[in-house]
Amino acid sequence: MNEHTKRPRHEVVMINRRSLAISGVKNVESFDSEEFLLETDGGFLTIRGQNLHMKNLSLETGEVAIEGLVHEMAYLEQGQAGDRSRGFFGKLFK
């Protein structure tokens, strides 16, 4: 078997730091205007920025489109996602 048949496909396409198209998304753990936490086929992905909002979401096809100014994107190591998955409400009720 080749590599593409073993693992689902996960892609991130960013245009001018203002638009993201992400495939291979399993779940949207949390999001607000400054941070998104997505569970993807490639691991947990955190996206930070300003005025972030979800343009499209289809968990059936595993695709998410995000707009806003992107400052940072990073994959979290296993165990790091727990604190971040609290999102807006977790921060609000600390």
pLDDT at 1 exceeding the cut of 70 = no
**pTM, to two decimals:** 0.76
The Cα 41–Cα 23 span in angstroms is 9
Q: Which residue has the tokens 């190591």?
A: 77
Which pLDDT value is given to residue 94? 46
Q: Are 11 and 25 in contact (CB under 8 A)?
A: no
Tokens in use for 51?
Answer: 């005025």
Q: Are 67 and 17 in contact (CB under 8 A)?
A: no
- For the domain 3-77, what is the CATH code? 2.60.40.2000
Show me where the domains of the chain are located: 3-77
pLDDT at 92 exceeding the cut of 90 = no
Choice between 3 and 71, residue whose per-residue pLDDT is larger: 71
Binning the chain into helix, strand and coil, the percentages to the nearest 5 are 15, 55, 30
Choice between 4 and 59, residue whose per-residue pLDDT is larger: 59
Which pLDDT value is given to residue 9? 87
pLDDT for 17-58, tens place per residue?
999 999 999 999 999 999 999 999 999 999 999 999 999 999
